[in-house]
Amino acid sequence: MTLQWQDIDTVLLDMDGTLLDLHFDNYFWLQHLPKRYAQIFNVDVLSIENRLHQMYAEMQGKLQWYCFDWWAQQLQVDIVELKQEITHLIEVRPSVTDFLQSLQQSHCRVVLLTNSHRAGMQLKFDKTGIDQYFDEIVSSHDYGFCKEQQEFWQAAESHLKFDKRRCLFIDDSLPVLTAAKKFGIAFNIAVENPDSKKPANSFSDFDSVRNFEQLTKRLDEL
């Protein structure tokens, strides 16, 4: 990795799978939601699992996929309430807090860029307190486009007034990283192990990290 911190003014960070363990979200959508839906409506778990997997496939990469209001309307359940049942699974990934503290003390502007619905963000902020480390917090719902879309990056540039030639962006999603690179974000880093309960991913087109220790060390050396 050839990252030089003196070339970076703005750090753009994803939340789920980058700063926070993606296990919480994967467990909710793949296990907790089907189980609780089956209990609430007295239906077979397998039937709702099949229905949900079909909906997930159709909505992947669209803003609705990340919208609690849309899912609540489709399923007639309170998504926030169901998520509150398993908030004990929300965890900050290893070495993230040290990285955020170092960024806070650096010359860099630090921005959270997440596809998360703001209600979901608040659940995680209440549990982890990571919101204290950001100069700006942006949900894709603020712009009406998700990070996979070029319109999101156009809106972010207009709103945040960053110089994309001097931006570092860190995310765990290949489609999102590809969109950022296409837009012209200069430095893009992938997170290899977003879900602690699953094997690490490999990336051929992006530099990648398993934790932030290496980045923190270089930042602290400035």
Contact 169, 187 (CB under 8 A): yes
Measured in Å, how far apart are the chain's first and last C-alpha atoms?
17
Q: The tokens of 126 are what?
A: 């209440």
Residue 8: what residue type? Answer: I
Q: The tokens of 3 are what?
A: 């990252």
Secondary structure (3-state) at 188:
strand
Residue 172 exposure: Cα atoms within 13 Å on the Cβ side: 24
Q: Write down the residue that tokens 């998360």 correspond to.
A: 116
Catalytic, 7? Answer: yes
The catalytic residue among 7, 126, 142, 207 is 7
Contact 82, 112 (CB under 8 A): no
Instruction: List residues with catalytic annotation.
Output: 7
